[in-house]
Amino acid sequence: MKAHSKAGLIYDHNHDGVDRRGFLKCMAWAGTGALCVMKAGVLRSASLSGISGATAGTAGELRFVQISDSHMGFNKPANQDVVGTLKAAVEKINALPQAPEFLLHTGDISHLSRPEEFEAVEQILKSCVAKEVFYVPGEHDVINDDGAQFLERFGKGSHGAGWRSFDKNGVHFIGLVNVMNLKAGGLGSLGAEQLEWLEGDVKGLGASTPIVVFAHIPLWNVYPQWGWGTEDSAQALGYLKRFGSVTVLNGHIHQTMQKIEGQVTFHTAASTAFPQPPPGQAQGPGPMTVPAEQLRQLLGITDVNYLRGQQALAIVDSKLG
């Protein structure tokens, strides 16, 4: 099962050499505004224009927004105004019909872990209607100091390298860190200490508790050749197997993509800074330079709405331009 974008861009994982038989898939590409909702195992998708009335009109139990990959400090041709596009993302959030309760930032807050880069993002996000922001680091946020600055600024209440959990309106949120202690030739990594913490964290929860996991690098193998996956994610997901509703939100790949696997919905958010090419569609995963008028159509925010009793988290990607 595939979700079609208006541009007709589809990446079919059946042809990437990885066996994913039995998986339901729904891919939504950057800027398409596709929505995928899972209700009792049935995947429904619709275009943003077709669903916006329904989601806007339904007062959700919990609404939050994910932003990702703001890369503050980046100034190359792919986007020489990452301040402007992050501000546009905040304006987009502030204009949503229902204000989100909080934000999740799934990493690469900064481009080079510079204090002024972190500071700029914090300042810009202060003008957002949602005042509370939960961050997990991307590899660019831990680049010179193993994440010391990240922890000092954003790690309050977290464990280890910045992993944490918290509850909102009956939903259990888990922020994971998969950008530390990476090994040569490897993928993203959670590590034994964090996995042990995760196992203990969810132990006492009822199976009907909706779970939202957020981390920087995808927790599913999007495209391992470019490092777009996490080597020990299967173990983490194993601890979440018994739960009826698990939503996994990631960034890192600078494009939206979604996959449904059993009761787990995987979703990656667009960047607010610059797009990256679809998997395997370029020599490498570097910034993709597009004509200026197209840039904001490839950047965006992800709006997530939880409706109690429906066991569904509605995920809507909105482009900036």
Partner 1 sequence: MKCVHAVGVMAIFISVSGLFVTAAEREEKSIKAEIKIDNFAFTPTELTVKAGTTVEWVNRDDIPHVVVSDDKKTFKSKALDTDDKFSYTFTTPGTYSYFCSVHPKMTGRVVVQ
Place of tokens 């790690």: 155
Of 35, 78, 93, 295, the one binding partner 1 (CB under 8 A) is 78
Binding segment for partner 1 among 39-47, 51-59, 81-89, 135-143 (CB under 8 A)?
135-143
Of 117, 139, 232, 303, the one binding partner 1 (CB under 8 A) is 139
CB closer to partner 1 out of 10 and 282: 282
Give SS3 for 195. Answer: helix
Q: Scanning residues 196 to 225, which ones bind partner 1 (CB under 8 A)? A: 224-225
Q: How far is the CB of 78 from partner 1 (least distance, A)?
A: 7
Of 105, 140, 254, 267, the one binding partner 1 (CB under 8 A) is 140
- Residue 299 CA, chain-centre distance (Å), reads 13
Of 7, 126, 286, 294, the one binding partner 1 (CB under 8 A) is 286
Binding segment for partner 1 among 193-201, 239-247, 277-285, 301-309 (CB under 8 A)?
277-285
Alpha helices in 221-281 (DSSP H): 233-238
Is residue 259 part of the contact set for partner 1 (CB under 8 A)? Answer: no
Total residues interacting with partner 1, rule: CB under 8 A: 26
Of 44, 76, 241, 242, the one binding partner 1 (CB under 8 A) is 76
Task: Decide: 290 and 321 in contact? Cβ < 8 Å.
Answer: no
The dihedral built from the CA positions of residue 192, 194, 196 and 198, taken in this order, carries a sign that is negative
Say what the alpha-carbon torsion angle 152, 111, 269, 97 is, to the nearest 10 degrees: 70
CB closer to partner 1 out of 289 and 294: 289
Task: Decide: 237 and 196 in contact? Cβ < 8 Å.
Answer: no
User: What distance in Å separates the CA atoms of residue 268 and residue 275, rounded to the nearest whole number?
Assistant: 13
Binding segment for partner 1 among 127-135, 166-174, 180-188, 290-298 (CB under 8 A)?
180-188
Is residue 303 part of the contact set for partner 1 (CB under 8 A)? Answer: no
Q: What is the CA radius of gyration of the chain?
A: 18
Is residue 185 part of the contact set for partner 1 (CB under 8 A)? Answer: yes
Q: How far is the CB of 185 from partner 1 (least distance, A)?
A: 5
H helix or E strand, kind and range, residue 38: strand 35-39
Q: Which residues contact residue 140 at a Cβ distance below 8 angstroms, ignoring those fewer than 6 apart?
A: 71, 107, 108, 109, 110, 111, 112, 113
Binding segment for partner 1 among 121-129, 176-184, 207-215, 298-306 (CB under 8 A)?
176-184
